[in-house]
Structure 1
Amino acid sequence: MYQLKGDGWEPVSGGESDTSVYRRGDVFAKCCSTNGVRELRDERDRAEWLAGTGIPAATVVDWLESPDGACLMTSAVPGVAGSDLPSAVQVQAMESLGRTFRDLHSLPDCPFERPLASVIATAEDVVRRGAVNPAFLTDEWRLLDPAELLARVVAERPYIEIGADLAVCHGDACLPNVFFDPESLAVTGMIDVGRLGIGDPYLDLALITIQLYDEWSADPTPFLRAYGVPDPDRRRLEFYRLLDPLTWG
């Protein structure tokens, strides 16, 4: 693991990746071992690109490498994480979230791709290694073997690929990764963009809507209306809700 130099770095809890995160003032440092350098470098490149698009996001402050690993330093995003917003402002926040993701998905000329084939290949690897985290699965899915869940994904793939629109996707669109101004409820920034790339925007829509339901106990209709899909393809949403937890491990 890359070792930070200097005083004042405080460890930050949270996150699911094999990295250690620290904060000093308005700078976050995400450190990894040699095995994670490629993945962290990919996150750096995506963060640099997104910061230049006009979409509010964390900016890259520094990049450090050593024989022990690497460290990505990014600016702290102002505001409050979506997971920490009070229930009284959730409808307004959902509308702001919908508009922001509509803008993200409308960005042109993204140099990064995340095709469905590669996402399914990641899921196949996680399942093959027996590395699926049951905490990411619903109660119903935990009753089944991960290989059976993967088989459902593979069976649905032809339907998903036919007619799929492609757009710039965040790839890990969960409430802790989006920050809001606590007064205006405008989105102030996105973080953890290591999975950003051209893909099916329903991936982001699926993750956000299930988070709104699970974390806020909220009807996601205001978000979907603000985004522009008041009547989404439910089959497509369910597909990505099942696929995503199979890709972490």
Structure 2
Amino acid sequence: MSFAAWLPGDGWEPVTGGESATEVFRRGDVFAKCSGVSGVGELAAERDRAEWLAGTSVPAARVLDWIERAEGGALLTSAVSGVAAVELPWSEKLVASFAGALRAVHSLAVEDCPFRRPLHDVIAQAEDVVRRGAVNPDFLREDVQAVPPAELLARIQAEAPEVAAKAAGDLVVCHGDGCLPNFLFDPETLELTGVIDVGRLGVADRYTDLALVPAQLNDVWSVDAAGFFAQYGLPEPDRARLDFYLLLDPLTWG
């Protein structure tokens, strides 16, 4: 089955190879993310979140169309100008801009956001991935890649009550996958031009996003995260929560 055949008009070009029956196409300034039946729910969730975010002060892709058929669905969104942070050369200004962009998302009014991502739901998602044996070891930190996923999950479950207690008074609107590829910037001014791939956006512990940053900065640019946290306004982050979410996140993809 060719997802491109569902899309209006001609000239759609594939952008990436799909994961879990998902394919992405582009035609001019329009992107189309297509999914089979099993992924329609997640795609619809991304549609709803993208529509909400586009109405806030944070620049983001706009939803242009939604196609749903018996075989699956397609989400059409506007292209966002700029270049993904991961594709830009490191500079202190870029790191500061990335910190400011993540802070801007986290500063959106929690009471205005209709989406929630409570910790117990995220852990339930991880439990499902582990149960299905779908954890990708390449997503894990090197020091735990040889540890059985069930053992990592048990560690998460044991630490969850303490983390949840800390997070109770520190809930913000999170991107949910606050990675460098999902934040685009003007390559000249390094101002934020847009946020993409918001299928996991929702009110959650800010460390859901923050925990992903140190490893990314090190992997992409070989730099320490101290400058990022200083610019974000959290010069002394909670290391225990950083470690917790860095361990939890890769267990939720699969």
TM-score, normalising length: structure 1:
0.95
Amino acid at match of 1:107: L
Asked whether the 8 Å contact 2:17–2:23 carries over to 1, the reply is no
Number of residue pairs the alignment of both structures matches: 247
Partner Cα separation in structure 1 for residue 159 and residue 92 of structure 2: 32
Structure 1 residue 5: Cα displacement: 4.2
Aligned to 1:126: 129
Amino acid at match of 2:96: E
Q: Secondary structure of 2:166's partner?
A: coil
| Structure 2 residue ranges without an equivalent (≥5) | none
Asked whether the 8 Å contact 2:174–2:206 carries over to 1, the reply is yes
1:77 is the counterpart of 2:80: yes
Q: Secondary structure of 1:48's partner?
A: helix
For residues 81 and 203 of structure 1, do their structure 2 counterparts lie closer, same or farther at Cα, with a shift above 3 Å needed? same
1:167 is the counterpart of 2:167: no
Partner Cα separation in structure 2 for residue 206 and residue 22 of structure 1: 30
| Structure 1 residue ranges without an equivalent (≥5) | none
Show CA shifts across 1:32-54 (max 9, x none): 01111111010000000001001
**Residues 60-209 of structure 1: matches in 2 within 5 Å?**
60-87=63-90, 90-108=91-109, 109-164=112-167, 165-209=170-214
Partner Cα separation in structure 2 for residue 92 and residue 132 of structure 1: 35
1:234 is the counterpart of 2:239: yes
Identify which range, 219-228 or 167-176, moves more after superposition: 219-228
After TM superposition, the runs of 4+ consecutive aligned structure 1 residues lying more than 6 A away are: none
Q: Secondary structure of 2:80's partner?
A: coil
CA RMSD across the alignment: 1.4
Partner Cα separation in structure 1 for residue 84 and residue 104 of structure 2: 19
Show CA shifts across 1:64-92 (max 9, x none): 111111100111111111110013xx311
Partner Cα separation in structure 2 for residue 235 and residue 41 of structure 1: 34
Asked whether the 8 Å contact 2:60–2:195 carries over to 1, the reply is yes
Structure 1 residue 141: Cα displacement: 1.3
Percent identity of equivalent pairs: 62
Identify which range, 39-48 or 215-224, moves more after superposition: 215-224
TM-score, normalising length: structure 2:
0.93
Identify which range, 168-177 or 205-214, moves more after superposition: 205-214
Structure 1 residue 106: Cα displacement: 1.4
